[in-house]
């Protein structure tokens, strides 16, 4: 199992992602964005969090034109597994690999804290180690995490089981959410279920000593490849 | 040389939290006659170009590909000689 982790100028979660996947037994490689190809032994491509290009213009807007992104799109379109975390999710929506967009948080504040999430659909490799309605506790850290998609797009997400995770409280109530996301959506996948994006950081919830190891069950799903 | 002003705003129907916050702040300053506030961004370009049509076509492409995210944003383009 080989995990390739993308690094743009301003990415800052690549080493956390590397730590998490190596702890789970995967081989990893950090790939600088100037590369025009992806290592051929890549089983999972991670677009890590951070502030690519300083979030200038819009989060992820400049990163989508990095040399590596053509190879990322080709990899995804040929069925390769891609996981975008936080800024990585923003990059994947900007690049058109995932539907919708991430707006400024409704409160206009940067939010950094643990938050409960509810599993909505687990019929995908990412969440198959979890059950629907399971609740996990995972850190969020973002300024632009307010997921938006128009009404017809939202219907399509539900129809194809593309909604993966919703923000909720400890009891699983998802009526309120931290950032204004439509229907409290925290993570989605594409129709083909090989491209995944979420704002919360499972790679930061790997050690119970540090608050939570709920991220292990999430990332483990990828490891059977 | 053509100067081009691009304005980018959230689409009507997409909640503009910054606009709302500014609106509340104006009300707290007792400007009670403001009915709506939208916050957007302005991008000013200088093009080495003399053909208006070509400039308009180029900047439209720039907006579609980079300057605006058309999932959530609308844009306007104004050419200034």
Q: What is the pLDDT of residue A70?
A: 97
* Contact list, A107 vs chain B (CB under 8 Å): 17
Over range A140-166, report the average pLDDT: 97
Model pTM greater than 0.90? yes
Which tokens sit at A99?
Answer: 């539907």
A214 Cα distance to chain centroid: 15
Q: What are the tens digits of pLDDT across the range A17-33?
A: 999 999 999 999 999 99
The burial class, CB within 10 Å (0-12 / 13-18 / 19+), for A213 is: middle
SS3 at position A174: coil
Q: Best interface-test mutation with A: which of B16, B65, B72, B73 has the largest number of A CBs within 10 A?
A: B72
Compute the distance between CA of residue A103 and CA of residue A125 in angstroms, rounded to an integer.
27
Q: Write the DSSP symbol of residue A224.
A: G
Q: What is the pLDDT of residue A29?
A: 98
Over range A182-190, report the average pLDDT: 98
pLDDT > 70 fraction of chain A, expressed in percent and rounded:
99
SS3 at position A52: helix
**Residue-range definition of the domain harbouring residue B40:** 2-80
Question: Is residue A223 very low, low, confident or very high in pLDDT (cuts 50, 70, 90)?
Answer: confident
Q: Is B14 on the interface with A (CB under 8 A)?
A: yes
Closest by CA to A23, choosing from A225, A215, A193, is A215
Is it the case that residue A43 has pLDDT exceeding 60? yes
Inter-CA distances, A151 with A34, A89, A100, A108, B53, Å: 37, 20, 11, 24, 35
Q: Best interface-test mutation with B: which of A56, A59, A90, A101 has the largest number of B CBs within 10 A?
A: A101
Which tokens sit at B74?
Answer: 């609308």
Q: Which helix (H) or strand (E) holds A3?
A: strand A2-7
A83 Cα distance to chain centroid: 5
Q: What are the tens digits of pLDDT across the range A68-98?
A: 999 999 999 999 999 999 999 999 999 999 9
Compute the distance between CA of residue A57 and CA of residue A171 in angstroms, rounded to an integer.
38
Residue B59: which CATH number? 3.30.1280.10
Give the domains, in start order, of chain A with CATH numbers.
Answer: 2-224 (3.40.50.880)
SS3 at position A19: helix
**Chain A to chain B, count of Cβ pairs less than 8 Å apart?**
35
Which tokens sit at A38?
Answer: 């992806």
Closest by CA to A197, choosing from A213, A174, A181, is A181
* Contact list, A145 vs chain B (CB under 8 Å): none
Question: Is residue A225 very low, low, confident or very high in pLDDT (cuts 50, 70, 90)?
Answer: low
Over range A188-213, report the average pLDDT: 96
Q: Tell me the pLDDT of chain B (81 aa) as tens digits.
A: 999 999 999 999 899 999 999 999 999 999 999 999 999 999 999 999 999 999 999 999 999 999 999 999 999 999 997
- The answer to whether A183 and A163 have CB atoms below 8 angstroms apart is yes
Average pLDDT, chain A: 96
Q: What are the tens digits of pLDDT across the range A94-107?
A: 999 999 999 999 99
B66/A57 CB distance under 8 A: yes
Q: What is the pLDDT of residue A122?
A: 95
Domain count, chain B: 1
């Amino acid at each position: 199992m080989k995990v390739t982790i993308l690094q743009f100028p301003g990415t800052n979660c690549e080493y956390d992602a590397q730590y998490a996947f190596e702890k789970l037994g995967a081989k990893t490689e950090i790939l600088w964005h100037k590369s025009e190809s992806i290592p051929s032994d890549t089983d999972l491509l991670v677009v890590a969090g951070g502030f690519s290009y300083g979030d200038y213009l819009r989060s992820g807007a400049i990163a989508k034109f990095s040399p590596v992104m053509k190879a990322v799109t080709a990899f995804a379109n040929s069925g390769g597994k891609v996981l975008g975390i936080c800024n990585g999710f923003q990059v994947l929506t900007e690049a058109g690999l995932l539907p919708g967009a991430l707006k400024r948080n409704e409160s206009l504040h940067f939010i950094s804290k643990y938050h409960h999430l509810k599993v909505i659909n687990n019929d995908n490799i990412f969440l198959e180690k979890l059950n629907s309605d399971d609740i996990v506790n995972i850190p969020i850290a973002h300024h632009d995490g307010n997921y938006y998609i128009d009404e017809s797009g939202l219907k399509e997400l539900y129809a194809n089981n593309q909604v993966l995770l919703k923000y909720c409280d400890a009891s699983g109530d998802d009526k309120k959410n931290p950032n204004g996301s439509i229907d409290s959506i925290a993570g989605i996948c594409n129709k083909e279920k090989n491209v995944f994006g979420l704002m919360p950081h499972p790679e930061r919830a790997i050690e119970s000593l540090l608050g939570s190891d709920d991220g292990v069950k999430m990332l483990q799903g990828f490891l059977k490849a | 040389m053509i100067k081009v002003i691009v304005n980018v705003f959230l689409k009507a129907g997409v909640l503009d939290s910054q606009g709302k916050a500014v609106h509340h702040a104006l009300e707290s300053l007792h400007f009670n006659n403001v009915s709506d506030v939208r916050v957007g961004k302005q991008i000013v370009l200088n093009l080495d170009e003399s053909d208006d049509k070509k400039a308009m076509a180029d900047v439209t492409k720039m907006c579609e590909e980079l300057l605006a995210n058309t999932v959530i944003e609308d844009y306007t383009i104004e050419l200034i000689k």
